[in-house]
Amino acid sequence: MRIALAVTTLRAAIGAYPETAALLEGRVGSDLLALDNIRHTPPSKAFPAMVRQSAFEVSEMAIATFLMAKAYGKPMVLLPVVLAERAQESALLTAIDGPVRGPADLAGAPIAVRAYSQTTGMWLRGSLAEFHGIRADTQRWTTFEDAHVPEFMDPPWVTRGTPGQDLLAMTRSGEAAAGIFGNDLPDGLRTVFPDLEAAVAQFRDRHGFIPVNHLVVARRDVADARPELLVEVMRMLAASGARMHTRESLRPALALAIRYCTEQGMMPRPLSVEEAWEGLPAAIQ
């Protein structure tokens, strides 16, 4: 007689995408585990709870948030799964009738962003420095929210918006020469990059990948005590259609994100790529 194995339930926070639909709708089954998925819209709403309270055993996580959290010693383990990736250049916007005609016009100018730690901002600041010589610490940044990692304080070249200021209004009025937005782009602005396709190709041709926004992480205690559960999470995500990677295939993106975060004053110390993978079970390559 076959003995049924006990099913373990993991509390999860995974966003709804075409690649995760089968998993979240129960069309990918498992004899080993079930995911009690706590929906958050947008998924970034789950990040502070994961970083600050370890509220989930498996969670979606922005790459910048994860790297900052890892550098501050948060007990999280990175899984080689990409849930969101995109070119970032379309998120750097300016007033339609404003004087900015290209990235060079931003040198020394005020730029507004929701939070300095936002992943889209990290990738764009890195590109501005690398391709246009516009370093983060030479700009005047305005932010409106704290980082998900509570230990992080905005660097000295960043100021907090005052009551009544907001990202969209500052960008439309020209009070900010440009604004960095997220996945949902507002109307009534235009891109700083006059040739978006060329800017996207410049990054891709040099680095060989599209910038990674969201990955998947797990609590360190789960990885240590029940590594087979994380192997099963990976299997289920793959069966659902998520973009699976290996440690090696994600190395270029992790290495560049670490460099950008370090250059932009986002981490208390640099990490190595090997440290970023610390705690991942050996069975997951």
Q: What average pLDDT does range 86-108 have in this prediction?
A: 96
* Amino acid, res. 95: A
What residues does 180 pair with on adjacent strands?
92, 113
Cis before 42 (ω within 30): yes
Nearest-angstrom CA–CA distance, 256 and 266: 14
- Burial of 253 by CB count in 10 Å (0-12 exposed, 13-18 middle, 19+ buried)? buried
Calculate ∠ Cα 38-42-44, nearest 5°.
85
Q: Which residues contact 138 (CB under 8 A, 6 or more apart)?
A: 107, 108, 157
Q: What is the pLDDT of residue 1?
A: 43
**Maximum Cα–Cα distance for the chain, whole Å?**
77
Contact 122, 152 (CB under 8 A): no
Specify the pTM: 0.95
Q: What is the pLDDT of residue 183?
A: 79
The encoded tokens of residue 172 equal 């439309």
Contact 188, 96 (CB under 8 A): yes
240 pLDDT above the threshold of 90: yes
Using DSSP, how many helices (H) and how many strands (E) does the chain show? 10, 12
* Amino acid, res. 111: I
DSSP E strand boundaries for 14-117: 33-37, 58-62, 76-85, 92-95, 110-113
The encoded tokens of residue 285 equal 């390559």
Closest residue by Cα to residue 91 from 122, 66, 68, 48: 122
Q: What average pLDDT does range 162-166 have in this prediction?
A: 91
4 pLDDT above the threshold of 70: no
pLDDT greater at residue 3 or residue 63: 63
pLDDT greater at residue 1 or residue 220: 220
How far from 72 is each of 76, 114, 198, 214, CA to CA, in Å? 11, 22, 37, 19
Nearest-angstrom CA–CA distance, 145 and 176: 17
Interstrand relation of 212-219 and 76-85 (parallel, antiparallel or unpaired): antiparallel
On average, the pLDDT of the chain sits at: 95
The encoded tokens of residue 184 equal 């949902």
165 pLDDT above the threshold of 60: yes
Q: What is the pLDDT of residue 2?
A: 45
Nearest-angstrom CA–CA distance, 59 and 55: 9
